[in-house]
Chain A
Amino acid sequence: MSKAIMQLDALSCPSCMQKIQGALAKQAGVEDVKVLFNAAKVKVNFDEKIVSADALADVVTKLGYEVKGVKVKVAQQ
């Protein structure tokens, strides 16, 4: 299980949160999603064999939010 942390542009509406949360959770290979509203960060645990962090960042970008940076921690083994 890998973990990706995306830094977004400041979020202003609570519904953005639900939107990002919902869209990412629907992706195959995504275990859980946490959107930090105040920090404008998205934390995703995912299976890197099924989906890549870049693909996930793409999903968020397509929703209309600028992804400023992605940090990925690949699982050991």
Chain B
Amino acid sequence: MKFQRWIQHHTNQITAVTAGLIILGFIGRFTGQPWLDTSAFVLASIIAATPIIIRAWEALRVKTISIELLVSIAVIGAFVIREFDESAIVTFLFLFGTFLEEKTLARTRKSIKSLTEMAPTTAQVVQPDGSVNETDVDFVDEGDVVLVKTGAQVPVDGKIVSGSAYLNEASVTGESKLVTKRPGELVYSGTMVDNGTIQVTATKVGDDTTFAKIIELVEDAQDTKSHVEKFIDRFATYYTPAVLLLALLVGIFFRDFKLAITVLVLGCPGALVIGAPVSNVAGIGNGAKNGVLIKGGEVVDTFSKVDTLVFDKTGTLTKGKTEVASVQTYGDSHALAYAAAMERESDHPLGRAIVAYVTEHELASDSLVVQATNTIKGQGMTAEIENHDVAVGNQTLMNAEGVILNDAQQKTLIAIQHQGSSTVLVAVDGALQAIIGIADVIRDGVKDDLRQLKAMGVERLVMLTGDNELTAKTVGSQLGMDEIHANLLPEEKVTFVKQLQDDGHTVAFVGDGINDSPSIATANIGIAMGGGTDVAVETSDIVLMQSSFGELIHAYGLAKKTVRNTRENIIIAIGTVVFLLIGLIFGYIYMASGMFVHEASILVVVLNAMRLIRYTPKRIMASNKPAKLIKSPAAIN
């Protein structure tokens, strides 16, 4: 046992020594010293064959006929017929090939490795007496308060209790953009504090954190095999013994021992076995680095075949929160500030949207004193500001206040409502001053992204929503959806997905992960817009960490590219075997050259797969930001 382990650990040194001996052997041959020639090659063969024979034996013990066994038999055979130079070179090439394979494989696994290496190891836990104790992350409990300073890594998932900081959340979202986080907001394990000091109450620790789950998911995914891989695995378990049998038959029928052992070497299924898995490992690794979690080779396969994309509207195509979508003002520029001042205390979603808009556009309203506030349920509110009577609310309120809309204003109002917005009217001293349209705003750049998806091979875009017909139509037609279905309950969405599948489509459902879970589970591919929520991560096949459509494009392109890469690798592998067979028939290929071609083909497939590590989708068109809000009446009409 000890000897075996020593050999395994020093395989690289053994390979180097073998190389030296082979060179020595050739020197002996060309300088006419037969003793050096023979002894160097004999020694090289014995040394290099040892680790291969050990591995072959170990595999045999678990009843597997391995590639090593084929090579071992071939080498022993060559040794018996005193072809020492052949046996030395074959064993050397095999070991050297394995070495290169390991090195390049490590590169394809690197993306996940760099992820795991980012995992936090220690935490600064705040003790009850206020002092800080450095603890291993494994020993931090939920409810503990940890201190995170500038440059340090957040060790747990939790809520900020004090302090604020700029955080780099690239490890969780894939996007290295700084975000500000204040008390009450959530921070995630594995993210970095770029600037600031915060104290965080741990809500999830260790393996339960989002970051740990991402790693676990990607690790599992890289080992979840696709149909192709499973097929090749099955194929290989029969193929290798078949080669052994073939060699035996060749030996018996042709009475050609040399040919028989050559068949053993040429029959090694090297590139074929490694070609498909290595593409998937590289592809999934690329996704993980770019905020796209793909759960396994099978998902890659199926997703590349998807022709119909079904979207949930709220929270997926739109941001899922109401925002001011359009503003039309008439004269008085204070109207918006007045409205915001009055809505400041309100928790009505429309009111909050107005306050957010005014704050964002710095139309100062803080100093305004609001007096005689009167809220009229279902209509709005009236108040007195700077000696003006202000009314903010719907048309009913305007009628009650005696505010009359002229024809142009009426038209604008209807136009905004037809865009799917709710409207809020603002009147100052009995005259209409502003019409504010508030809607759930479409995510930035979605329209271009959808067009690109179509260009990449998606045939149909379908939108399903529980929202009303008018809003659904407005959003859907703006985005160029092929089909729009409104007023749907979650189970009706499932029926739609099933219907599409029955019609022969391969369907991917994109949703925000919580209420859409049934559809996500039903579709061929479920895609979750996950801000890192557990449900999203668990039920879906693909998670877009940043909830962006850019990631969706990346995922789709990557899936197609990975499948193509797998196919290329299989063609290379089969091509190699065919090439070798032809070479054998015409007598150009013997053991050493055959092994060389084999090892070269393995390197070619690994290198080909490595191209996937750097893949980024080509943007067909520049994504332009949507036109910003304030529109002229002409544009609305």
A12 near B101 with CB under 8 A, answer yes
Bound CA span A13–B71, Å = 15
Please determine whether B273 and A14 come into contact, CB atoms closer than 8 angstroms: yes
Inter-chain CA distance A39–B284, complex, in Å, is: 13
A45 to chain B, nearest CB (A): 14
Q: Are B105's CB and A12's CB within 8 A?
A: yes
Asked if B429 is at the interface of the complex by the 8 Å CB criterion, the answer is no
Q: Do A36 and B220 touch across chains, with their CB atoms under 8 A apart?
A: yes
Per the 8 Å Cβ criterion, residues 1-54 of B in contact with A are: 1, 4-5, 8
What is the minimal beta-carbon distance from A10 to any residue of chain B, in angstroms?
7
Contacts A22-B62, A62-B1 given: A10-B55 contact, CB under 8 Å?
Answer: no
Task: Tell whether, in the assembled complex, residue B223 and residue A38 are in contact, meaning their CB atoms are under 8 Å apart.
Answer: yes
Does B207 interact with chain A (Cβ within 8 Å)? yes
Render A30-49 as a binary contact track against B, CB cut-off 8 A, 1 for contact: 00000011110100000000
Residues B207 and A73 in contact, CB atoms below 8 Å apart: yes
Q: Please tell me if B64 contacts chain A, counting CB pairs below 8 Å.
A: yes
CB distance from B357 to the nearest CB of A (A): 48
Chain B residues closer than 8 Å to A22, beta-carbon distance: 62
Choice from B55, B64, B219 contacting A18 with Cβ under 8 Å: B64
Measured between beta carbons, the chain B residues less than 8 angstroms from A13 are 55, 59, 66, 68
Report if A19-B59 is in contact (Cβ < 8 Å); known contacts: A38-B112, A64-B8: yes
A38 and B219 contact, CB distance less than 8 A: yes
Asked whether A37 and B102 contact (CB < 8 A) given A15-B62, A18-B62, A62-B1, the answer is no
Report the bound CA distance from A39 to B108 in whole Å: 11
**Nearest opposing residue in chain A for B284, CB measure:** A38
- Do A64 and B1 touch (CB < 8 A)? yes
CB B358 to nearest CB in A, in angstroms, measures 51
Assuming the contacts A36-B223, A39-B219, A39-B222, asked whether A19 and B62 have C-beta atoms less than 8 A apart, the reply is yes
Scan residues 64-85 of chain B and give those whose CB is less than 8 A from a CB of chain A.
Answer: 64, 66, 68
Question: Does B106 belong to the interface (CB within 8 Å)?
Answer: yes
How many A-B residue pairs lie within 8 Å, measured between CB atoms?
52
CA distance A12 to B220 in the complex (A): 17
For B89-127 the 0/1 string (1 means CB < 8 A from A) is: 000000000100110011001001000100000000000
B58 at the A/B interface (Cβ < 8 Å)? yes
Contact A10 B106 (CB under 8 A): yes
Residues of chain B within 8 A (CB-CB) of A39 are 109, 112, 116, 219, 222-223
B281 at the interface (CB under 8 A from A): yes
Say yes or no: A64-B109 contact (C-beta < 8 A), given A15-B62, A15-B64. Answer: no
Summarize B's interface: helix, strand, loop or mixed. Answer: helix
In whole angstroms, how far apart are the Cα atoms of A71 and B215 in the complex?
Answer: 15
What bracket does the count of chain A residues touching chain B fall in? 10 to 19
Compute how far the CA of A64 lies from the CA of B1 in the bound complex, rounded to whole angstroms: 7
Tell me which of B8, B62, B219 contacts A41 (CB under 8 A). B219
Contact of A15 among B1, B59, B112 (CB under 8 A): B59
- Most chain B CB within a 10 A radius of its CB, from A12, A13, A15, A38: A38
Check B281–A38 contact: CB distance below 8 A.
Answer: yes
User: Within the complex, what minimum Cβ distance (angstroms) separates A44 from chain B?
Assistant: 15
What are the residues of chain B within 8 A of A36 when measuring CB–CB? 219-220, 222-223
A37 to B18, CA, bound (A): 29
Asked whether A64 lies within 8 Å of B106 as measured between CB atoms, the reply is no
Chain B nearest Cβ from A35, distance in angstroms? 8
CB contact between A64 and one of B5, B112, B222 (< 8 Å): that residue: B5
Contact with A along B251-279 (1 / 0, CB 8 A): 00000000000000000000001000000
Which residues of the other chain, B, contact A15 by a CB distance below 8 angstroms?
55, 58-59, 62, 64, 66
- On whether the beta carbons of A12 and B222 are closer than 8 Å, the reply is no
Given A38-B223, A39-B219, A64-B4 in contact, is the A12-B59 Cβ separation under 8 Å?
Answer: no
- Shortest B67–chain A CB gap in Å is 9
Please name all residues of chain A whose beta carbon is closer than 8 Å to the beta carbon of B106 when the two chains form the complex: 10
Least CB distance, A51 to chain B, in whole angstroms: 21
**Residues B222 and A38 in contact, CB atoms below 8 Å apart:** yes
Query: Which of chain B's residues have a CB closer than 8 A to the CB of A38?
Result: 109, 112, 219, 222-223, 281
Question: How far is A37 from B58 in the complex, measured between Cα atoms in Å?
Answer: 17
Is the pair A19, B219 in contact by a Cβ cutoff of 8 Å?
no
A44–B98 Cα distance when bound, in Å, is 29
A59 to nearest B CB, angstroms?
13
What would 10 more interface pairs be, CB under 8 Å, given A13-B55, A18-B62?
A: A12-B98, A13-B66, A15-B62, A18-B64, A19-B59, A22-B62, A38-B223, A62-B1, A64-B4, A64-B5
State the B residues within 8 Å of A (CB).
1, 4-5, 8, 55, 58-59, 61-62, 64, 66, 68, 98, 101-102, 105-106, 109, 112, 116, 138, 207, 219-220, 222-223, 273, 281
**Using a CB–CB distance below 8 Å, which chain A residues touch chain B?**
10, 12-15, 18-19, 22, 36-39, 41, 62, 64, 71, 73
6 nearest A-B pairs in the assembled complex, by CB-CB distance: A39-B219, A15-B59, A38-B222, A64-B5, A36-B223, A19-B62
